[in-house]
Structure formats: C-alpha cells, structure tokens
Amino acid sequence: MKSLTLAVLALLALPMSTWAGEKATEARIKEVAERGRHVMPFNLEQTTHIFKKVPTGGIQQVIVKDKANTVQIKLIREHLSKIAREFKAGNFSDPVKIHGKNMPGLEKLRNAKSGEYKVTYKELANGAEIDYVSKKPELVTAIHQFFDAQLSDHARHATSGHDMSRHSMHHSMHGMSGASAQTPKADAVDQRLLIQFDEVQRAYFLKDMRTLFSGTQAILGALANEDMQTVAKTARSLGLGMTHDVKSKYHGAIPKAMMHMGMAMHRTFDDIARDAESIRDSKHTLQQLSSTMAQCSACHASYQIQVNQ
Ligand code: HEC
C-alpha cells in the first residue's frame, strides 16, 4: 500500500506541460502513456480511446483493436465503470493523475451541482463507453474541453471518433463484409476510408443520397409551415424501409461500421415520422433532424467512394 502511495505521489510530481500549445510533444505523449499505465489497467497499444464531442456533451469509448481480445475488454469495462462511478460523484482524480490538475474544463465539472450533468456507463460488444450529458451550455463546453485535453495528450492513442459510429458498437448486422479494418485510406490529406463500388453501385448509392438530401429539405419546408403530416410522410420515406434492398445492391461492399451508421441514420427518420404524428411539436422535430444530420456528417467525414476498374 505504501509503495502505491509513493508511486502516485511520484506521478503527481512529474512536470506537467500546459495545453496552450495545441499538439502534445512526443515526450508529453510518452509521459502521458507512462502515467496512464499506472491509472488505466488496459493496454494503450491494444485498444483505441475515442473522445467524441456531441452537442449535448460527449461520448468516451474505449474499444479493443482485436474483437477477440477478451482480456482487454474486461479491463476496459472494469476501469470505465469505476471512473464513471467516480465522475458521477464529482471525483476526477484518475484523469488528474494522468493529465494534471489544471485540466481544462475540470474546474467547471467539479463545481457543477448534482444533476447538472449526467454520466452514464455502458457496455459495448468490444469495450465500453461513458456518456456525458448536460443541458447547461457552459458544462457542455467544459465536457468538450475535458475531451480536447485528453485527445491532445493521448495523441496517437486516441481519436475524436470521426471514423467510428457509436451505433456501430451497439448493433450487429449479418451478412455484411467486415472490410472496415483493412480498408485503405485515400491519401495522407483526405483521411476518409475508401469504399469500393462498381459503377452501378455508385450510381444507386448517390441517387439514394440525393433522395436523402431533397427529402431533408422537404421536411424543413414542411416544418416551416407546421405541416406535420407532410413531415411524417416524407420522413417515413427516408426510414429503414429505404434500406430493404441494400444487401442485394451492394453485395457486402459496404463495411460493417458504415452499414451501422447508415442503418442508425435511417432509423432516426422513422423516429421523426412517429413523433411528428404523435407529439406534433415542430421544435422537437427540428432537434431530431439536427441530430440526424449530424449522422449524415459523421459518415461523410469517414468514407468516400472509389469505383473499381
Ligand atoms: C452511411 C454513410 C452515409 C450517411 C449516413 C449519409 N451519407 Fe451521404 N454520402 C455518403 C458517401 C460515402 C458519399 C459519397 C462521398 C464521396 O465519394 O466523396 C455521400 C454523398 C452524398 C451526397 C452527394 C450525392 C452526389 O450525387 O454526389 C449527398 C447530397 C449526400 N450524401 C447527402 C446525405 C444526407 C442528406 C444524409 C443524411 C440525411 C446522408 N447523406 C447520410 C455516405 C453517407
């Protein structure tokens, strides 16, 4: 016990650089990884840490690189459920041990009143996640700063989750190829993953995209007129029903993670249709549409089409 206390004290005594200079130096990344080893039980090389900022707060995920790595999955779950409990109680001592006591956003989170932000732990098939939600804009900002600090410090050991969908962790689709892991990148500048389609698949896919775009426009137009019936009808046409022939059209050319993103996005249109009929609140529909469009953007940021010769 005594040696553990000493170890922690020694860690706290390490010099902590500030977050003023955007990108962490290699020395800082190593220092953070070293301190992390004492705080986080899982292996940073065998796992991916994702900090995804969303309009209501953020989603922190830790997932294994190899789905069969049950040892790391167990360690991830143990650690994330523990810190989620601590964060709920306003105790941020673990990240402080790694990132220093001046972590941006921390002060605000610590001083928040009970119930002003919510921390929820969830198990994922390949790891675990913690969801941070607040209705107070300044706490949402604090959560974003807290995420940014960890992203910059962990550098190559973490990502902002642009190329991953949280939905991809929750659902499993059958009969689709799992090409995502090895999908080649376009080039060093354009980091979107390449999806291999033939000419016909590309034409089908982009036509569906244009339907989504014009449908979204039609929903906005109907909302401006408080015409909830048209909202519901249009949204339903963009729902999961639109995906009935996906398998036959694309023959597994769509990687799993992207397929999940697409399905999750279509599902939100069904939700919009249902609520437009039952709740009939245009402001609520606008909020739903906004998060749907965040899903359009997330997928656009992650993938691009390449036509096979
Ligand atoms: C599952 C992933 C995914 C989702 C979700 C998605 N898109 Fe796309 N979209 C793509 C890809 C991939 C392309 C092609 C990009 C490229 O090759 O550069 C594309 C292209 C487009 C285009 C260009 C069409 C053309 O003819 O060139 C539009 C418009 C578009 N998307 C609108 C939307 C809208 C609106 C939504 C949400 C309601 C949406 N997309 C959701 C993946 C997605």
Task: Compute, in angstroms, the gap from residue 307 CA to the centroid of ligand 1.
Answer: 15
10 in ligand 1 pocket by Cβ < 6 Å? Answer: no
3-state secondary structure of 161: coil
Given this model, what pLDDT does residue 188 score? 59
Shared domain for 19 and 138, answered yes or no, is: yes
Given this model, what pLDDT does residue 10 score? 40
Check which CATH number belongs to the domain holding 291 and give it.
1.20.120
CB distance 172 to 95 below 8 Å: no
Given this model, what pLDDT does residue 76 score? 95
Shared domain for 184 and 118, answered yes or no, is: no
Shared domain for 157 and 286, answered yes or no, is: no
Strand partners, 59: 52, 131
Given this model, what pLDDT does residue 97 score? 81
In a domain, 234, yes or no: yes
Given this model, what pLDDT does residue 174 score? 37
In a domain, 261, yes or no: yes
Protein residue with least CA distance to atom 22, ligand 1: 209
Given this model, what pLDDT does residue 23 score? 58
The number of domains in the chain is: 2
Sign of CA dihedral 49, 55, 57, 59: negative
Tens-place pLDDT, residues 187-207: 656 778 889 999 999 999 999
3-state secondary structure of 140: helix
Given this model, what pLDDT does residue 24 score? 67
128 in ligand 1 pocket by Cβ < 6 Å? Answer: no
Consecutive H or E run containing 217: helix 199-224
Residue spans of the chain under pLDDT 70: 1-24, 155-156, 161-189, 309
Task: Compute, in angstroms, the gap from residue 164 CA to the centroid of ligand 1.
Answer: 16
82 in ligand 1 pocket by Cβ < 6 Å? Answer: no
Token code pair at residue 53: 């900022």
Given this model, what pLDDT does residue 36 score? 73
Distances (CA, A) of 160 to 12, 102, 129: 27, 21, 14
